[in-house]
Chains A and B, each alone.
Chain A
């Protein structure tokens, strides 16, 4: 091999691994050779006996080795909500959880609606961050829902997508114009669909559980009606569109149809909606108060099947740190949201352990597919790709202790949950950050 013919004194070889390739959705014994922050070679032939002298060797002892996770929806707290999270804490959490790239949501204060704030985030990430931090920019100025933001300039500054944060863009007209304008820049629009007028004062999924708990419900249609509107506008404009969080069969049917029609449409869901349901709320557990709300089990099952099938392209944590003051309240008054970047992999592995999804398919939804959608070079095993790699034992069991998490806020829905899958090493651009 060419790479082995020359001496690489500063190369690192990760050997004796269960190599998971999410691009080809295959796995097998092998290793990865890393140099100057990039993958220079990988495969079954990367073994100790075949390496140039001076190569640093890391023996993975049969653990999984894969590209690091890309989490496309993370509230990073900066600027403006440093009491909830900071770039420093969230990237430490990400590194510990095997997430090597995060995409920051634009709903900061001020919102990410001009190139200077993208630049601010980039510098903050460089100085304080551990993993890669990318910015999703606001689709409208100040997220006001009325005026399109500087999509071209923001994209040039480094924004990888345009979103409206946790809220939907109400005006169909503004959405149409945003999609039309974004198409000229081939910009990606990521949208959470939620009709607030229909959801009204709802705080959990509408149905028998909500009725029994005496809580106001949010119907599935609050999500699907606006998704249907968006998809018709995508058909009208030809823009690139990603439905950030779909949580029910109605939405999946719409996505299937849109994909079959050849629209440039992808979708994601959250790890919470794949692994929890409305019954987990139990006696008013506010850490499970999420938006969109956790759904009934048949909807969760449908999401898992859609993931296995590939209808759901990506999984996000929808990391939303909330401090205790807004969570230790009666359910109706408590804030929505849960943290999740650090537990993303371990929670997702539940789907592998339950036999619902193969490990390569799961990792594709956490690495390769988000990279494709966001047009990033990482997220795959390929010669020349960034050496963003994680080593993990998918079977190592542990009980989650929320107090040990690195995020500033501890509002995890998985506190005291039994999980399997421990990240033993996280590497970003060839540098080991964790493990």
Chain B
């Protein structure tokens, strides 16, 4: 790894893709490439964060994101502490501010936060002195997911600019979709969103995307097909009538995928509902990048931690 590679990442926190420049994003993707090499070696340990304390503060349960951040921190030599805070507590908000103050007193260097409310990570960032990484806030943003998706795309297609990317499914409730739309449009991709109107947020067309309610039309010529998870409680009449009808119109099967570009690649942030938004044969098929996304997740999180770590005060 080129430890001399100077990241031109200019932020103190990573709260979202919004606010990042193309140069910030590129710096993180470049740094991630180096992190992949480290992760593929037998000796996976570096010491750029040695002596630093990283706290993973998850107000929402998460296995993959939390373990990805944990692994990333440990590979960089940080002391990583996981804190899972029960969301069932009545006074969630009090917990957030109180916990922020408590954690701040422990003098961590980096806090990774996931919270069920949009903006909660911004609020916490204002209450602590260390760097803060948003690991998902409500239906707002999930910046490291968008970065890992971009890295996966760039490595497989050699570029992001000019690609036709179709994001399909529950856009309304998806922080992954929001961060991806921001990142991919900033990097010059042509982004389409596909979903039933009940699962599209108001004013989405003003975020620089093309909107489709017909998946077959939306997939025409797509280079990347990004599927989103649809939560079970939203399938039974609340937003769509049934799982069956949803899969019929918006599930990714071989027929629909055939409409995309012949070398189209399929992505999913996980966890998947096989047979609801994606057929198993596709999830495990040759065009799927889903497992590679997980590997890229660790690399991107290493890059983010390293970039923020490089900007921490040294006294």
Q: Which residues of A contact B (CB under 8 A)?
A: 206-217, 219, 283-284, 325, 328-334
Contacts and interface: CB of A to CB of B under 8 A. Distances in A.
Given A211-B207, A216-B139, A325-B94, 14 more contacts: A207-B202, A208-B203, A211-B202, A213-B119, A213-B140, A215-B118, A215-B119, A217-B201, A217-B202, A283-B119, A328-B123, A329-B97, A329-B123, A331-B118
Contacts of B202: 206-208, 210-211, 217, 219
Nearest to A296: B203
B170 to A, nearest CB: 13
Interface in B75-98: 92-94, 96-97
A99 B137 CA distance: 42
Contact of B138 (A208, A209, A214): A214
A200 to B, nearest CB: 10
Nearest to A208: B203
A211 B178 CA distance: 9
Nearest to B59: A330
A284 B97 contact: no
Nearest to A281: B119
A243 B149 CA distance: 50
A198 to B, nearest CB: 13
B206 interface: yes
B91 to A, nearest CB: 9
B178 A214 contact: yes
B268 interface: no
Nearest to B171: A211
22 contacts: A207-B202, A210-B201, A212-B178, A214-B137, A214-B175, A215-B118, A215-B139, A217-B201, A283-B119, A283-B122, A284-B118, A329-B92, A329-B96, A330-B93, A330-B96, A330-B123, A331-B117, A331-B119, A332-B118, A332-B119, A332-B138, A333-B117
B306 interface: no
Contacts of B118: 213-215, 284, 330-332
Given A212-B18, A283-B122, A330 B207 contact: no
Most chain B Cβ neighbours within 10 Å, of A215, A325, A331, A332: A332
A328 B201 contact: no
Interface of B: 18, 92-94, 96-97, 115, 117-120, 122-123, 137-141, 175, 178, 201-204, 206-207
Given A212-B207, A214-B141, A284-B123, A332 B117 contact: yes
Most chain A Cβ neighbours within 10 Å, of B92, B119, B120, B202: B119
Contacts, number: 78
A384 to B, nearest CB: 53
A428 B242 CA distance: 64
Most chain A Cβ neighbours within 10 Å, of B96, B137, B202: B202
B140 A214 contact: yes
A282 to B, nearest CB: 10
Contacts of B96: 329-330
Nearest to A324: B97
Contacts of A208: 202-203, 206-207
B28 to A, nearest CB: 21
Contact of A328 (B97, B137, B139): B97
A215 B178 CA distance: 12
Closest 3 CB pairs of A and B: A214-B140, A208-B203, A329-B93
A362 B207 CA distance: 38
Given A329-B93, A330-B93, A330-B120, A211 B204 contact: yes
Contacts of A284: 118-119, 122-123
Most chain B Cβ neighbours within 10 Å, of A209, A211, A328: A211
A217 to B, nearest CB: 6
A328 B93 contact: yes
Contacts of A215: 118-119, 138-140
Nearest to A215: B118
Contacts of B137: 214
Given A325-B94, A328-B97, A330-B93, A211 B201 contact: yes
A83 B115 CA distance: 30
A17 to B, nearest CB: 46
A207 B201 CA distance: 8
Contact of B93 (A211, A212, A334): A334
Contacts of A206: 202
B204 A333 contact: no
B90 to A, nearest CB: 11
Contact of A214 (B94, B139, B204, B206): B139
Nearest to B94: A325
A333 B92 CA distance: 9
A330 B115 CA distance: 9
B98 to A, nearest CB: 11
Nearest to A216: B139
Nearest to A329: B93
A374 B191 CA distance: 56
A213 B138 CA distance: 10
Contacts of A329: 92-94, 96-97, 123
A329 B59 CA distance: 14
Contacts of A325: 94
Nearest to B119: A284
Contacts of B92: 329-330, 333
B57 to A, nearest CB: 14
